[in-house]
Amino acid sequence: MNDGLFFHVSVYATRPNRDGWGDTQYAEGLLRAIRALRGCDGDLFFRNEMPKLGCGLGRDVVLRIVGPHPEDPVPGVPNLLWMISPPNLAPVASLARFQGVFCASKLFANYLQQRGIAAQYLPQATETAHFHPDRRRADAADIPVVFVGAYAPRVDRRLVVQAVKSGHDVRIWGPGWRGVVPDHCLQGERLNYTELAETYAAARIVLNSHMPQMADLGFMSNRTFDALSSGARVISEVIPEFTAATLPELACVSDTAGLVAKLDEFLALPTADRQARIALHDRIKLDFGFGGRAMTFVACAREVLAQQQMALPTRALLDQRMAAPIGLLRLSDPARSADTQHEGLLLAADEILHLARAYPPTAPLLAAEPAAGEGVIHALMADLREMQGLMRGPVTPAAQARVDTLARSALRVVEALRETSPVLRLRVSPAERDAALARLLRDEPLWAHSPEDYQRDANKIHLALNPRRAPVATQAPVGVFLHLFYEDLAEQFAARLALIDAPVQIYVSTDTEEKAARIAAHLPQAEIRLFANRGRDIWPKLYGFGDVYHRHDIVLHLHGKKSPHSGKLNDWLAHILDCLLNSREDVNRILSLFQSIPSLGLVTPLTYRSVLSASHWGANKDIARELAARINLQAPLPDNSQLQFPVGSMFWGRTKAIQPLLDLALTPAHFPPEAGQVDGTVAHAIERMLGVVCRATGHDILPVAAVGQTAHAKYRRQFNSNRALRTALEAGAFAPP
């Protein structure tokens, strides 16, 4: 019998950015400790990857080291989970699928146990061979007080700020600190793994300031043990139920007075010599080193293997959850939904799970119910379409694998929305909830960084408009579609629209008679319609006035944009208007471009600097898949590197370029009730599909800015004639690389 073990250790980082995450070095250190044990080996795998089972000489074991986002267990092998920080979401059912659960918080481990999860308390640890007093460089001077970590408004690092304000000499490495503390405190934005060990080895005191949720739920971070292992003293916030009676070098303080007193006390002590620092290091190695943690995981793995405990495959998992007989397999119309996005998600998830449990079908499939035609368009509709197609198609290993993937996505939704006692609920605001659910479907972190396939620089390329004095004779009036939820902006828009030196028909949407009256005072020539506040600006502009688009070859989409969720976006509207309606001469140039370049579909504003990081699919691609199915779009949706769209949903456009979206004839009921959502709704998906559909209809997209604008000057393109610009567009000069 093979008694060896091969650990597949997963981390939160992705493979391309592995070197920039401390999680990677942490996992590599633990893996070195595992490999040091007889008969044990292993490798790393990363977020969104599956381990290569059977690649080693030992029996496979998966160890997931998780923080904010615990991924699903890998079927067919034992799965161990070590929570080193609190997850954003943890349904009981998902945690129960692991064969061993360890938690770096005594408080949280007890919380799990009360909910039926056999969690073991296992504090964080450190790689003591790396964090060692002898890492100190020979020429290094003592550093009185050190902090390494980022500052952000949601992570205010009060402990560090108070230490600085108390007059102590605190040296800080990390981004976001400029303007928060005096410049003399700032040492740099990043330390690599080696530099971190060298810095801690030279420090007398290291401050450990935690994320608020991490501290509140009882997780002492590994930075405490990294610093102690290096021979430094540590001051941290109070971590509930964390105790270390054998470590007087670690102080936990609850207020400014306690912090200042402990700083003064530690700094008054004689500087620790090498012998004293080594003695502290040895105590950390005994109780908080990776060697001990590795032995714990190996013992657990051998025990669960002896008991033949494995993570269940999808079908067995569904049979365990759904005891009722499978019964008739009646397909619904995949466009069927409900009044809210969450109800619609659950309807689709239930059907996906029912079909997955019955795959491959052994009985005839009953015909789909008639199309409902109403209900909120949501992120599981495209998955349901795909699942129904798999039920009708040939049975292959690839099809079975895809069924399993779709089922696990649906299961995550059901557990997040329906479980009555999750360990950690989906603790997000109503504005963030839809986006969080869309990410949950794809087993992605609820708060992710920009996608790795997204290229910010591609959204900086733009045309500097060459002003034109002569007006343009248009064949039909320009159709201006303006949504004004904020009616106080009507005067501003009236002044801008007066710059259009061509026949124009203005259509304005708002939601109350009172607003309409105030708007009419500034735009008396406009046709004003009242609509409920549903679908943001997208539904009124595209569908509330859907009956008039046939009158216009060229349209202008505008809305009174305000972004209450972010003060950084206060100037976004002014930027957009300066791009699209800067002057009479610039508007003449834009209209002339549509006249002389038949392939031109959209003229969009240069992407505003503050939204560059969000100018990708975000949490909207699954809803876009459903929209693509409804308009019978044959080409696959572009990835983030190829996606181009009018960020902010304001643009000049050719009606033909967006006609497939107009033909959807959506109603307000297809959009979720307004909750201030920042992402993950059909309105956000349509904003992106404007660019996709424009290209799918054979048209080009042209980002523009006025000549005087200075943003992204390096990426500015200028042409002396429309003919030269047309040639450049045909050559792809403004398309993503």
CA distance 675 to 687: 18
Return all residues near 551 (Cβ < 8 A) that are at least 6 apart: 476, 477, 479, 505
Residue 346 has pLDDT above 60, yes or no: yes
Beta bridge partners of 602: 653, 701
Q: Is 366 helix (H, G, I), strand (E, B) or coil?
A: strand
Round to whole Å and give the CA distance between 427 and 107: 19
**All domains in the chain, ordered by first residue:** 5-125+292-306 (3.40.50.2000), 133-280 (3.40.50.2000), 318-425 (no CATH), 457-730 (3.90.550.10)
Does residue 16 surpass a pLDDT of 50? yes
pLDDT above 60: residue 372: no
Give me the pLDDT at residue 67, please.
79
Predicted pLDDT at 27: 95
pLDDT of residue 565: 47
For residue 452, the model assigns a pLDDT of 80
- Tell whether the model's pLDDT for residue 380 goes beyond 60: yes
- Express as a percent the part of the chain with pLDDT over 90: 80
> pLDDT value at position 430?
81
Helix axes 490-497, 513-522, angle to 10 degrees: 40
Which of 588, 619, 584, 620 is CA-nearest to residue 603? 588
Helices 397-418 and 341-358: crossing angle, nearest 10°? 140
**Is the CA virtual torsion 293, 295, 301, 306 positive or negative?**
negative
Token code pair at residue 142: 């003592």
Asked whether residue 145 carries a pLDDT value surpassing 90, the answer given is: yes
- Which pair of structure tokens corresponds to residue 61? 């074991």
**Reported confidence tier of residue 563, pLDDT bands at 50, 70, 90:** low
Which tokens hold the place of 131? Answer: 């964090």
Angle at 22 between CA 30 and CA 40, to 5 degrees: 15
Angle between helices 430-441 and 341-358 (to 10 degrees): 20
The answer, yes or no, to whether residue 98 has pLDDT greater than 60, is: yes
Question: Residue range 356-366: average pLDDT?
Answer: 87
Residue among 580, 706, 567 at smallest CA distance from 647: 580
Instruction: Output the pTM of the full model.
Output: 0.90
Q: Could you give the CA distance from residue 373 to residue 377 in angstroms, rounded to a whole number?
A: 10
Q: Given its phi and psi angles, is residue 676 left (phi above 0), alpha (psi -120 to 50 degrees) or beta?
A: left
Residue 603 has phi, psi (to 5 degrees) of -110, 115
Predicted pLDDT of residue 424:
56
Residue 247 has which token pair? 């470590």
149-153, 206-210, 679-683, 685-689: least confident range: 149-153
Please return the burial class of 26, using the count of CB atoms within 10 Å of its CB with bins 0-12, 13-18 and 19+.
buried
State the chain's mean pLDDT as an integer: 93
Query: What angle, rounded to 10 degrees, do the helices at 430-441 and 397-418 form?
Result: 160
Question: What is the predicted pLDDT for the residue at 556?
Answer: 99
- Helix 341-358 vs helix 381-392: crossing angle, to nearest 10: 20
Q: What angle do CA 543, 546, 551 make, to 5 degrees?
A: 150
**135-143 long-range Cβ contacts below 8 angstroms, 24+ apart:** 135/194, 135/197, 135/198, 135/200, 135/201, 135/230, 136/198, 136/201, 136/202, 137/198, 137/202, 140/198, 140/201, 140/202, 141/202, 142/202, 142/203, 142/204, 142/271, 143/171, 143/199, 143/202, 143/203, 143/204
CA atoms of 213 and 219, how far apart (whole Å): 9
Between 614 and 545, the more confident residue is 545
| Average pLDDT of the segment spanning 357-370 | 82
| pLDDT of 1 higher than 70 | no
619 and 681 in contact (C-beta within 8 Å)? no
Average pLDDT of span 276-294: 98
Going by pLDDT thresholds of 50, 70 and 90, the confidence category of residue 423 is low
What does the pLDDT average to over 232-242? 97
Rounded Cα distance between 465 and 462, Å, is 9
Q: Residue 405: pLDDT above 50?
A: yes
Neighbours of 512 (CB within 10 A): 13
Higher pLDDT, 324 or 150: 150
pLDDT of 485 > 60? The answer is yes
CA–CA gap between residue 184 and residue 203 (Å, rounded):
17
Q: What is the pLDDT of residue 444?
A: 81
Mean pLDDT of 577-586: 98
Q: What is the 3-state secondary structure (H, E, C) of 684-729?
A: HHHHHHHHHHHHHCCCEEEEEECCCCCCCHHHEECCCCHHHHHHHH
Structure-model confidence comparison of residues 472 and 213, the more confident one:
472
Of 120-134, 310-324, 614-628, 690-704, the range with the lowest mean pLDDT is 310-324
